[in-house]
Structure 1
Amino acid sequence: MTISAAMVKELRERTSSGMMECKKALVEANGDMELAIENMRKSGLAKADKKSGRIAAEGIIGAKISEDGKTVVLVDVNSETDFVAKGDDFVGFVNDITNALLTTDVADEEQLQALVLANGSTVDETRRALIAKLGENITVRRFIKYTSTDGGQAFYLHGSKIGVIVELSKNDSVLGKDIAMHIAAAKPEYISDSQVSAEIIAKEKEIFAAQALESGKPAEIVEKMIGGRITKFLAEVTLLGQPFIKDDSMTVGKLLTSKGNSVTRFARFEVGEGIEKKEENFAEEVMAQVRG
């Protein structure tokens, strides 16, 4: 059967695949459009499964807030290269996920994968189709969603690599964005001292004590040194204790107090954090190919 240009064009529009791949699929299906699509889907799933073990440590962070400021979502979607992450297909996928999450209750990763996007396909189906099209492993690594009836939400994206969401006890979009921006830059681990466990403080005391004893100072002086170091440590790791990035003459805690507000919770995502990236040596790779 003759495969017309119009048939190839239709298949490309329906699958977003390359021209040659569409023509080949139509030839193998003897012009049967639906069979060609089915075969391409099967092939795409197989390709996706083969790539699933490859490290995906690039990507982008997506964030979106509801019109009433009561709900906000943050999602981390990864690819193998920054080149793919900057493409329209990948960016669109992330946007579709954030939009869907904003209006749907999703509790875990399994529910996220089954979430139906605006295109009518699930997150996992769309992800696999993208892997087949773009040729890289793509993963939806994590997400978080905050909803509050009394307080307010805010978010800040630093480019596409760092994202922060913040929940305040009172709705204040300007303050919320400032706090989110601060968290993006300063990376606090806790909101306040009360969230730092006794085990962590004890461990830090042990480290500081060992360092202080080496100074040869009297025990009572060493004890004061340890106390001072712990105070400094808590100020460094807690949001309320950190100097505010826009005005370091005051802490974030004092800023919030002056506004009659408080932070209920926050989350910070950074692309690739915690993922062990594969070290590439492209010169050696080329030489290995040359040698056969």
Structure 2
Amino acid sequence: MTDVSHSPSAKDVKALRDRTGAGMMDCKKALTESGGDVDKAIEILRVKQGKRIEDRGERLATEGTVQSYVHSNAKVGVLVEVDTETDFVARNDELVAFAKDIALHIAAAAPEYVTEEDVDEERRQSELRVYEQEAADKPENVRAKIAEGKLRKWYETVVLLDQPHVNGDKYDGKTIGQLLDEVRAKTGENVQIRRFARFAVGQ
């Protein structure tokens, strides 16, 4: 029986995702169903997704690669750090290509944060207040839902993992977070996009 009263925090969802490599929404559902019990949530994920799920515990991503992208006009450039658990995976051609593709995306989409957890709480609340005011003329019982929906759309403009990759044809509209999940599943490692820096002439 799902405990719909339990609403896991974004931090808890990310922590479970890092431990299992499962998708963000799957982790959220599992935590809701388990009432916030992490071990039980991992069990739920393993039952639903089988061998693809593994408890990585506190395995740290301490190796990695830094890749770059400079736009053809030489006015926009990006450095991105993608971390892995082993040097072997860090040097893997597919992982390097993934990091380069992420750098290209950042150059085009200009995100400000890697994850939702990185968003400053004051800014998050400020955005939410604006959306709540915009929904003030709607029935009271749907205002919060409308504001939350608008906040989710805003995340897509500023949070890297929430953005669909700019090369929609190649990646079929998948978000950077979904592509990261695929890399984790393929490598079996706790791959992380740790940080990025975007440079634009005149900005």
**Aligned partner of 1:250 among 174, 179, 183:** 174
Identify, as 1 or 2, the structure richer in strand: 1
Offset of residue 248 of structure 1: 4.7
The structure, 1 or 2, with the larger RCO (C-alpha pairs under 8 Å, 6+ apart) is: 2
**Aligned partner of 2:97 among 169, 174, 188:** 174
**Aligned partner of 1:211 among 134, 154, 157:** 134
If the length of structure 2 is used for normalisation, what is the TM-score? Answer: 0.58
Call closer, same or farther: CA 1:248–1:269 in 2, change over 3 Å: farther
Please give the per-residue CA displacement for 1:55-94, whole angstroms capped at 9, x wherever unaligned.
Answer: xxxxxxxxxxxxxxxxxxxxxxxxxxxxxxxxxxxxxxxx
**Aligned partner of 1:186 among 85, 109, 123:** 109
Call closer, same or farther: CA 1:156–1:239 in 2, change over 3 Å: same
Please give the per-residue CA displacement for 1:92-138, whole angstroms capped at 9, x wherever unaligned.
Answer: xxxxxxxxxxxxxxxxxxxxxxxxxxxxxxxxxxxxxxxxxxxxxxx
Query: 2:140 and 2:70 mapped to 1: Cα distance?
Result: 48
SS in 1 for 2:135: helix
**Aligned partner of 1:152 among 48, 54, 65:** 65
SS in 1 for 2:160: coil
Query: 1:220 and 1:262 mapped to 2: Cα distance?
Result: 38
Map of 1:60 onto structure 2 = none
Map of 1:228 onto structure 2 = 149
Offset of residue 185 of structure 1: 0.3
Please give the per-residue CA displacement for 1:175-233, whole angstroms capped at 9, x wherever unaligned.
Answer: 111000000000000000000111011100111112111xx221121111011111111
SS in 1 for 2:129: helix
Give the partner amino acid of 1:201: R
Any stretches of 5+ residues in structure 1 without a counterpart? 1-147, 274-292
The number of aligned residues is: 124
Find runs of 4+ consecutive structure 1 residues off by over 6 angstroms: none
Map of 1:129 onto structure 2 = none
Greater alpha carbon shift after TM alignment, 264-273 vs 216-225 = 216-225
Map of 1:139 onto structure 2 = none
Identify, as 1 or 2, the structure richer in helix: 2
Query: 2:124 and 2:71 mapped to 1: Cα distance?
Result: 31
SS in 2 for 1:191: coil
Give the partner amino acid of 2:193: V
Give the partner amino acid of 1:236: T
Offset of residue 262 of structure 1: 2.1
Map of 1:97 onto structure 2 = none
SS in 1 for 2:123: helix
Tell me how large the CA RMSD over aligned residues is: 1.6
Map of 2:76 onto structure 1 = 162
Mapping 1:98-117, distance limit 5 Å:
none
Q: Which has the larger radius of gyration?
A: 1
Query: 1:248 and 1:186 mapped to 2: Cα distance?
Result: 17
Mapping 1:271-290, distance limit 5 Å:
271-273=201-203
Any stretches of 5+ residues in structure 2 without a counterpart? 1-60, 85-89, 185-190
Give the partner amino acid of 1:245: V
Offset of residue 236 of structure 1: 2.0
Percent of residue pairs identical: 38
Offset of residue 249 of structure 1: 2.0
SS in 1 for 2:161: coil
